[in-house]
Structure 1
Amino acid sequence: LTNGTESPEVEVMVCGGAPGGSYYQAEKLRVYVEASKTCGRLKLTDPDPHWVMEEMPMGRVMSDMIMLPSGDVLIINGASRGTAGWEDAVGPVLNPVLYMPNEPDSSRRFTVLNPTTIPRMYHSAALLLPDGRILVGGSNPHMTYNFSAVKYPTELSLEAFLPHYMAPQYANLRPSIIAVEARDKVVSYGEHFALTFAVDTYRPDRGVTVAMIAPSFSTHSFGMNQRLIMLDVVDVEQLSRFAYKVNVFAPPTQNIAPPGYYMLFLVHDGIPGQCVWIKIT
């Protein structure tokens, strides 16, 4: 966003999936077709939008894609063959993948991360938590709950995935929001407001970003209402040895940020701290 008034660049991303006919082959023939490796990005605000295609390190169907406060995208859960449906997929993909959209070298945008030990397939879900972790849970690839005598039993557990920015080595760079200078943490469209924050080691050359993220409802490999908005940062003021103030503009219209509650993250040198909840009206 720029000055809280101009329209931002709007981009969507779609990854993985199953080729046409995969459901019939899995459901009727028990033939599990390899999942797609492709990712497509589309800038909706371009004068002549067109898909820019890339390939993930591995194919994946029924994945969850989580937008992180850093601006990166986490691709997690899913299977390597088959399609969504009861008993219609095999080969759980245990390794999450991090996608860095702003990496200039396209060959370095995808990073394979540490695996889970729990298959997360049909009816699994993932969502962003206020502290930056990812809550992952569920997996019921059967029409009824089935906990035994099957290759992929019903899974009711929850686990937390910690992105790289949660590592202890970044503790000195992790900012803590002290206050939001808006009454009752409610802001209006286009409003100029400020956040005060503390950080042990401030790196002015690496910059500060402020991200608004809508809490999404995640089901069937789709985070409904998932939206990441990077606010326009006007400047950063130093208040004391460890305290700072960042001045920002709220989104200009409800077309960019529908009214409601958002997680507000402050990100320093790529490391987000605990969010605060704000409301925009």
Structure 2
Amino acid sequence: MTITITIPSSTADSGTWQVLRNSIGIPAMHMQLLHTDRVIMFDRTDFGSSNLTLPNGMCRRFSKSKAFVDCTAHSIEYDVATNEFRGLFLESEVWCSSASVMADGMLVQTGGFGKGERKVRTYIPCSNSTCAWKEIDGGMNVKRWYATNHVLPDGRQIIIGGDQQFNYEFFPKSSNDKETYDLPFLLQTHDKYAQNNLYPFVFLNVDGNLFIFANNRAILFNYKNNTIVRTYPIISDGGNPRCYPSTGSAVLLPLKNLESQNIEAEVVICGGAPIGSWQKTKEGQFWEGLTTCAKIKITDPKAMWEMENMPRGRVMNDMVMLPNGNVLIINGASLGVAGWDQGVNPILNPFLYKPDNKSGSRFEVLNPSTISRMYHSSCVLLRDGRVIVGGSNPHMYYDYQTPFYPTQLSLEAFSPPYLDPIFAPLRAKILEPTPQTNIKYGAYFNMTFQVNGTLVKDSVRVTMLAPPFNTHSFSMNQRLLVLTTSEVIPTLNSTYKFNVTAPTSSILAPSGFYILFVVHQEIPSEGVWIRISD
């Protein structure tokens, strides 16, 4: 079944698409950018053979049948600079799993399905194409499928929830936190028919507590002593669900004024599906996704949700934080929910959300792709400002022939409006700090950049992005900070310099690798990798 809804072309004004590869061999269900400018992507291992043969004669014996041997890859490492990729060997099942990057740059990936549901897998980045997945048996205390990970100020990851798991645990485990800790909030927000609290939205607040949103409710949670600090109001649209499978998405808006005693933090949640949508898709009825975005200032003692409407209803949409503080809403469908063949009518146009604009003027509709990105799509922001988009496999197994949203092996790049060549004279080039510079909390560091066009001093900002792990329409650990700077001083040859103050603590910016950008008149530079630590 397909229903066509067309957004008038007069509203689609900017942004460009490029197909990077017609096939990367696998549908990219999960995606993470590493500080080597390589992107790890993976699918699942029990769909049968992919279209990419593993190197060096490697094979995986399918656990349910000794007669079936799979010599194809279900994970790749994609090199942004060369547009090349290589297959990676995965033994256990990673379907609908979760991950985040540790302070040293190592990707830690947790859970999955079947015999993979208690596994931990690690990937240490390298630049010589020798790095590979390593798997740890029993790394999780319990089965984790559809869980959410977040990096903590002390360097650990917290892994929250999952299918039938109303609890959380940590990785790595110390002598003080080997247990699994109950979180009744997850049981209270669980719908036994629609499971609307899978992949809960989790953000580290500026007070060190965690904002956790599940189904249609949110709490501020002290994970150190397992207590709820506060309960937020239910979103004021009738309590419609936003988490999987009624899949919307969420972002923590840029953190600003980092030297203030009262830093504000806001969360925006967009899209989802009306109550009852999941059940109706089983009857062949596909309801329109939610048109609403809900924003809340989670640091406000009297916090209330502010509602506004997107240009269209949307489900299975991703929300990507851009270097200039705007949000790209991309991928997904207009009807149905997440799940096997439970969503129809792809929305090909990204929406641009500008949080600093007044309500009613925050959205722009951008130019469309020609490729449907439905269930099991993924996307991440690259250091050069593009967003790469892959995946889409809404069927039980690989299906390349169906006219209804075939399994996608392609990889695209979307260039947001700020990459239009007309803005090239405004785009800064960072000269200092050099890539991979180590920065200490609260320290001052020098920044030097060039701009070929006329510089407007008051329109220069420095932002710092933690690249997230993306799957199932949520980017785990996504975080953008606007840093404090001194006055911009001109030097020679269209070069400028100033001082930048690093975030003051790991609560604001957990230790690890970030991408640093100079933003001039809303046009971001190409970013450079830095590492922040004590």
TM category, shorter: over 0.9
Shift of 1:150: 3.7
Name which of 104, 108, 122 aligns with 2:361: 108
Identity %: 50
Counterpart of 1:226, as a letter, is Q
Counterpart of 2:279, as a letter, is Y
Point out where structure 1 has 5 or more consecutive residues left out of the alignment.
none
Counterpart of 1:276, as a letter, is V
Distance 2:404 2:517 in 1: 40
Q: Does 1:9 align with 2:264?
A: yes
Residue 320 of structure 2 aligns with which residue? Answer: 66
Contact preservation (8 Å) 2:457, 2:488: no
Q: Does 1:278 align with 2:530?
A: yes
Shift of 1:205: 5.0
Structure 1 SS opposite 2:425 = helix
Distance 1:278 1:127 in 2: 18
Shift of 1:112: 0.4
Normalised by the size of structure 2, how large is the TM-score? 0.51
**1:138-175 CA distances to partner (integer Å, 9 max, x unpaired)?**
10000101011341111110101010000000110000
Residue 412 of structure 2 aligns with which residue? Answer: 159
Distance 1:217 1:264 in 2: 18
Shift of 1:3: 6.5
Counterpart of 1:9, as a letter, is E
Contact preservation (8 Å) 1:5, 1:251: no
Shift of 1:266: 0.7
Shift of 1:202: 3.4
Residue 187 of structure 1 aligns with which residue? Answer: 439
Q: Which has the higher contact order (CA 8 A, sep 6+)?
A: 1
Shift of 1:74: 0.5
Alignment of 1:116-155 (within 5 A): 116-155=369-408
Residue 75 of structure 1 aligns with which residue? Answer: 329
Distance 2:262 2:515 in 1: 21
Distance 1:37 1:181 in 2: 43
Name which of 237, 246, 255 aligns with 2:489: 237
**1:216-241 CA distances to partner (integer Å, 9 max, x unpaired)?**
11000000111111111222111113
Structure 2 SS opposite 1:255 = coil
Counterpart of 2:425, as a letter, is N
**1:182-233 CA distances to partner (integer Å, 9 max, x unpaired)?**
9x61111111112100111233255111111101110000001111111112
Name which of 164, 174, 177 aligns with 2:427: 174
Distance 1:194 1:253 in 2: 19
Point out where structure 2 has 5 or more consecutive residues left out of the alignment.
1-255
Residue 285 of structure 2 aligns with which residue? Answer: 31
Counterpart of 1:49, as a letter, is A
Alignment of 1:83-98 (within 5 A): 83-98=337-352
Shift of 1:125: 0.8
Name which of 444, 447, 466 aligns with 1:214: 466
Counterpart of 1:170, as a letter, is F
Distance 1:4 1:191 in 2: 12
Residue 33 of structure 2 aligns with which residue? Answer: none
The alignment's C-alpha RMSD in Å is: 1.5
Distance 1:58 1:22 in 2: 17
Distance 1:110 1:43 in 2: 20
Aligned residues: 278
Question: Please, which moves more after superposition, 84-93 or 204-213?
Answer: 204-213
Contact preservation (8 Å) 2:386, 2:416: yes
Moved segments of 4+, more than 4 Å: none
Distance 2:278 2:264 in 1: 36
Counterpart of 2:361, as a letter, is R
